[in-house]
């Protein structure tokens, strides 16, 4: 088993014309005016567009009780992730999860970066710069996700992955990129990492229960970001969560690209 230190490697992402700021926030050097052209803050699964993008980016903010003092620190990496989506000309969806994501998910933050505005048609550099500004304009809506009602006291990390899988199954011919901004704590009926050590029997049981529900994440890239901020878990508990997630995602040929404090340097797929 890989050492926990490898899981918790800290990196600082700087994309496009950005510099690294405090708490991981990407500070843009470009002057971006307010953008709303492709941003949909109404949400609703019924408004999902399948589009023609090659990839779909889905971001989740953990609003369970254990992240109350640290979730604000996720914002910089969340903005970085949406800028990745803009650079990839992908569709982007974001929501928050607490105890019952399947009952509260409406993806209130959405953007379609696969479309080029007519004003920039034929000038890809300007079009990409415009997409990046649109991505940065989502900072406010992403920050607002932290104020949603968690709908329960649990921390439903596994349920959230299952909800994401059901959602991405609707998006044909699109590779999912999924980021969960979380402390990594799992508090669900099938496993409470705070009180249940991960035995081999429990590990196999969890994979058997959850892997079939993750079929929609086949080929996905998953990033679990925020591990180690406001530590509420022991190194062994973090190792256990990493092991279970790796096993589950491996069953559907998805990869756990990041399990650590920050997003990796350079961007998705680099």
Query: For 33-52, what is each residue's pLDDT tens digit?
Result: 544 444 444 333 223 332 33
Confidence of residue 229 (pLDDT cuts 50, 70, 90): confident
Q: Is 66 helix (H, G, I), strand (E, B) or coil?
A: helix
Residue 69 clears pLDDT 80, i.e. is over it: yes
- Which two structure tokens, joined as six digits, stand for 261? 């404090």
Q: What was the pLDDT predicted at 264?
A: 67
Distance CA 194, CA 145 (A): 25
Strand partners, 175: 55
Spatial contact of 53 and 150, defined as CB atoms under 8 Å apart: no
Burial 25-41 (b: 16+ CB within 10 A, else e): bbebeeeeeebeebbbe
Distance CA 177, CA 126 (A): 25
Q: What was the pLDDT predicted at 45?
A: 28
H helices then E strands: how many in the chain?
Answer: 8, 11
pTM of the model: 0.81
Q: Which class is 53-260 in CATH?
A: alpha beta
The percent of residues above 70 in pLDDT, for the chain, comes to 77
- Please list, in sequence order, all residues whose beta carbon lies within 8 angstroms of the beta carbon of residue 119, skipping any fewer than 6 positions away: none
Average pLDDT over residues 256-263: 92
Q: 225, exposed or middle or buried, with CB in 10 Å at 0-12, 13-18, 19+? A: buried
Average pLDDT over residues 206-227: 96
Confidence of residue 121 (pLDDT cuts 50, 70, 90): confident
Segment 5-27, tens digit of pLDDT = 333 332 322 222 232 333 333 33
Domain residue extents for the chain: 53-260
Evaluate the CA torsion angle 31, 34, 35, 41 in order and state its sign.
positive
Angle at which helices 75-87 and 124-136 cross, to 10°: 150
State the Cα angle at 142 between 243 and 175, rounded to 5°. Answer: 50
- Which two structure tokens, joined as six digits, stand for 11? 């990196």
Q: What was the pLDDT predicted at 39?
A: 46
Q: What was the pLDDT predicted at 173?
A: 80
- Could you tell me which of 236, 253, 176, 230 has the C-alpha nearest to residue 7? 236
């Amino acid at each position: 088993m890989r050492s926990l230190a490898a899981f918790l490697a800290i990196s600082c992402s700087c994309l496009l014309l950005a510099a690294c700021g405090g708490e991981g926030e990407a500070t843009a050097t470009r002057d971006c005016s307010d953008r709303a052209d492709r941003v949909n803050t109404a949400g609703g699964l019924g408004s999902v567009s399948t589009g023609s993008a090659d990839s779909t980016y889905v971001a989740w903010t953990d609003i369970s009780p254990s992240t109350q003092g640290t979730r604000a620190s996720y914002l910089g990496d969340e903005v970085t992730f949406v800028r990745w989506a803009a650079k990839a000309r992908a569709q982007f969806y974001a929501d928050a999860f607490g105890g019952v994501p399947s009952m509260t998910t409406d993806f209130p933050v959405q953007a379609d970066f696969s479309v080029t505005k007519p004003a920039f048609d034929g000038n890809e550099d300007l079009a990409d710069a415009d997409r990046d500004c649109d991505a940065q304009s989502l900072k406010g809506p992403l920050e607002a996700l932290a104020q949603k009602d968690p709908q329960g006291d649990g921390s439903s990390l596994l349920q959230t992955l299952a909800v994401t899988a059901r959602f991405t199954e609707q998006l044909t011919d699109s590779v999912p990129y999924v980021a969960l901004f979380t402390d990594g704590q799992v508090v669900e009926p099938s496993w409470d990492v705070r009180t249940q050590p991960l035995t081999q029997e429990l590990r196999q049981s969890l994979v058997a229960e959850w892997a079939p529900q993750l079929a929609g994440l086949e080929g996905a890239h998953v990033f679990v970001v925020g591990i180690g901020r406001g530590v509420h878990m022991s190194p062994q508990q973090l190792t256990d969560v990493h092991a279970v997630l790796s096993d589950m995602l491996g069953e559907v040929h998805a990869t756990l690209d990041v399990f650590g404090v920050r997003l990796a340097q350079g961007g998705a797929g680099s």
